[in-house]
Amino acid sequence: MQEKFRIGISSCLLGHEVRWNAGHKLDKYLTHTLGQFVVYVAVCPEVEAGFGVPRESMRLVGDPDHPRLITFKSKTDHTDRMIAWAKKRVRELEKEDLCGFIFKSDSPSSGMVRVKVYNEKGMPHKVGIGIFARVFMEHFPLIPVEDDGRLNDPLIRENYMEQIFTMQRWREHLAVKRSMGNLVDFHTRNKLLILSHSPKHYRLMGKLVADGKKMPIKELYDQYQQILMEALKLKTTIKKHTNVTQHLMGYFKNQLTPDEKQELLEVFEQYRNELVPLLVPITLINHYVRKYDQHYLKQQTYLNPHPLELKLRTHV
Ligand code: SF4
């Protein structure tokens, strides 16, 4: 069992009764399933900024890029108070070493995308970002973020889990001495995972590491982290996975029997035609990795990017 790592989360998703009406928005996948592997750092901007429970509900009003946070009935403007609190809170969160943040969707404080912003005629447009979420994302541009609504999409969920588990491995890596050798080792283990998100970033990172000795180690690490997190934000596709699985098969070409090769090719084709989920070819490859004791592939995070208990890679 790997050590748990820290993820920030909007408190109401944990079942805390902190909403304006004293309700919550418990998300059982996050608490019961992902919760087995992470320690949550709960943040409720509206309660922590002192608005109490229950409280008057709020909404975003005005310029979508610089909206005001206004209470629904009394029209009190809480924007400055919320921004001042958020700036202080993100500085405190620096100490938490977060590998991700999961926001509550649609909230004027916590929503990270498509939050309703009301214009002067009182018409809502889903174009805003919650006040705290904006401050957080500006302060921590490399920390993977998602919201509970988007995480219901299997592909977005899978993508996000790969981001946070990779961030955790990267943090563990940073805890060891920074050196060319260690970076090459990290990159080698994550090569195929990166390739499954972006062949372009895969090439860029390969070049960065190959030329690594030409720059100071801090700059090299900073650039590597930036490109790594950029790459993992890009969604995987069937085409990209098919490319990686075929690449993987190359490592067995002298060991697989003709029957085994045929079986793998058939399973790849079934995956490509959306008849079976990704987990099927990956399970078969993992079987041959063990059978033929493939050292290079055994260390590839692509084959085991997150715990099986998360039930990912199972959608067609
Ligand atoms: S959405 Fe954000 S501000 Fe609203 S209750 Fe949840 S954590 Fe608190």
pLDDT by residue for the chain (316 residues), tens only, comes to: 578 999 999 999 999 999 999 999 999 999 999 999 999 999 999 999 999 999 999 999 999 999 999 999 999 999 999 999 999 999 999 999 999 999 999 999 999 999 999 999 999 999 999 999 999 999 999 999 999 999 999 999 999 999 999 999 999 999 999 999 999 999 999 999 999 999 999 999 999 999 999 999 999 999 999 999 999 999 999 999 999 999 999 998 889 999 999 999 999 999 999 999 999 999 999 999 999 999 999 999 999 999 999 999 999 8
Q: Indicate which residue's Cα is closest to atom 6 of ligand 1.
A: 12
Choosing from 46, 51, 136 the residue with most ligand 1 atoms within 8 A of its CB, the one to mutate for a pocket test is: 46
Q: Considering only CA atoms, which of 148, 143, 118 is closest in space to residue 27?
A: 148
**Gap from CA of 47 to ligand 1 centroid (Å):** 8
Q: Indicate which residue's Cα is closest to atom 4 of ligand 1.
A: 19
Name the percent of the chain lying above pLDDT 90. Answer: 97
Using DSSP bridges, classify how beta strands 115-118 and 58-61 pair: parallel, antiparallel or unpaired: parallel
**Gap from CA of 187 to ligand 1 centroid (Å):** 38
Ligand 1 atom with least separation from CA of 107:
1
Which residues, in sequence order, are bridge partners of residue 5?
Answer: 38
The span from the CA of 172 to the CA of 175, in Å, is: 5
**Phi then psi dihedrals of residue 128, to 5 deg:** -105, 175
The span from the CA of 30 to the CA of 101, in Å, is: 12
Residue with tokens 């720059």: 215
**Gap from CA of 109 to ligand 1 centroid (Å):** 7
Ligand 1 atom with least separation from CA of 104:
1
End-to-end Cα, the chain, rounded Å: 29
